[in-house]
Amino acid sequence: MTDHPPDAFLEAFLLGDLPEREARAVLAHLLHGCARCGEVMAPLAAMLLRPAEREPQTNGSEYDLPVARAIESALRQARELATDFGATAEEMPASDPFKASRDWQRCEALLAESLRLRHSDPEGMVLLATAAVEFAEALDGADYLPGAREDLQARAWAELGNAYRVADDLAAAESCFGNAIELFQEGTGERQLLARILDLLASLYSAQRKFAEADQLLDAVYRIHTVRRDFHLAGRALVTKGVAKGYGGASEEAVALLRGGINWLDHHRDPQLLLDAVQSLAWFLVDAGRFAEGRDLIAEHRLEASQGRQSLNALKLRWVEGRIAAGTGHAREAESAFRETRAGFSHRNLPYKAALASLDLAALWLGQGRTAEVGRLVEEMLVTFRSLGIRREAIAAILMLQEALRTERATLLLVQAVAKQLRRLEGEPT
């Protein structure tokens, strides 16, 4: 193999899915020290192969391994695999759920209930997922088929990581995913579980604005599900990828991916996922200035949105409605939506998102000459950020806006710039 192997070969090589002949050729290529292929493999290799502590750390410290160490670990694993390309992970036995212990069943029930709370109660979601981890960690491996306990533990840690992400504690989320990857390596290697972990991890990367890494992980998730012919989950991967693209500033590409993903979703299998996708698609349509399309999309799914009107997702959809109203000159309707959104985020203990909604309200008021009200709003945001220990770059952006208001130099463009800065900082450690 004189040229670089296709990226799909490198990914399959890491996952252990590449046939023996191709795997040996990839290994020979990598042993020559190809920097380009090392960079391609790094994001997935780092997630699959790095070690992690079994307790979530919330101090914001980074523990990503350098590219060289990740590739070195991948090559070491490949040397072991090169002599035995036997049964695939899907052929390995899985545990019998009817023989599972009571603690196993409790763990399963807690994970299901935690996931159900993802749009209504982020703190409750974390609490239940934490309990699920405790039950999973208490299981005796001798009671189950080889790797089954580790699979459940990996799943529980990944769901806890996702819960922390939803609750805006991204440092704790990343630590949990490190545990999940470590345990997955000790389990059966079941590809559907791997796809779930990588899918949730990609959502964390998107929140942390690591868009290139999220994109590569979602490509792996998409391929796993298409090979399994689970087109609903493949569509979900497209939706998640669209969201990551949109957060990265590629609104038009996000719209295309989201539309394609929605077409593949089984609406009866996960109706809430449809609402998630619709909310994200509407948001990025507005980002692209396509207000009429965003309004029509929300109107088309009004019934589903009204059924979940107490959910976090419905609150975000209301936020989009406010942005559409502001963009089309309906100031009174926009103000009502922004006030409702801001109060809803505060009630759910999501102060950062409440601040972002406040900036939309501030931009609206500034355009109406209501600078005194904008000043009070900014002062309130500043007090909240300082009390929560929000990183100083975010506080500096708010202070800049406060000073501009004091000297009567605040403009709509400045408010928008501050909002953009806060959105950029949202996913970074406090």
Averaged over successive runs of 10 residues, the pLDDT of the chain (430 residues) comes to 71 62 69 68 52 44 38 39 33 42 85 85 90 91 88 96 91 91 90 91 87 87 90 93 85 92 90 86 90 90 61 82 94 95 89 88 91 90 77 80 86 82 61
Q: Cα(427)–Cα(75) distance, rounded to whole angstroms?
A: 32
pTM: 0.64
* Gap between the Cα atoms of 165 and 126, Å rounded: 9
Question: How many beta carbons lie within 10 A of that of residue 236, not counting itself?
Answer: 26
According to the model, what pLDDT value does residue 52 have? Answer: 40
Neighbours of 360 (CB within 10 A): 22
Q: What is the pLDDT of residue 275?
A: 83
Per-residue pLDDT, 362: 92
Whether 378 contacts 397, CB under 8 Å: no
Q: What is the pLDDT of residue 121?
A: 82
Q: Count the residues in the chain.
A: 430
CA distances from 16 to 55, 131, 185, 233 (A): 28, 33, 12, 21
pLDDT at 163: 95
Return the pLDDT at 62. 38
Q: Tell me, what's the pLDDT at 408?
A: 86
Question: Which ranges of 249-350 would DSSP assign to H, the alpha helix?
Answer: 251-264, 271-287, 291-300, 302-307, 312-327, 331-347
Looking at residue 264, what is its pLDDT? 93
pLDDT value of position 154: 95
User: Rg of the chain's alpha carbons, rounded to an integer?
Assistant: 23
Owner of token pair 């999220």: 214
CA angle 386, 423, 411 (to 5 degrees): 85
Per-residue pLDDT, 51: 39
Q: Which two tokens stand for residue 360?
A: 């939309």
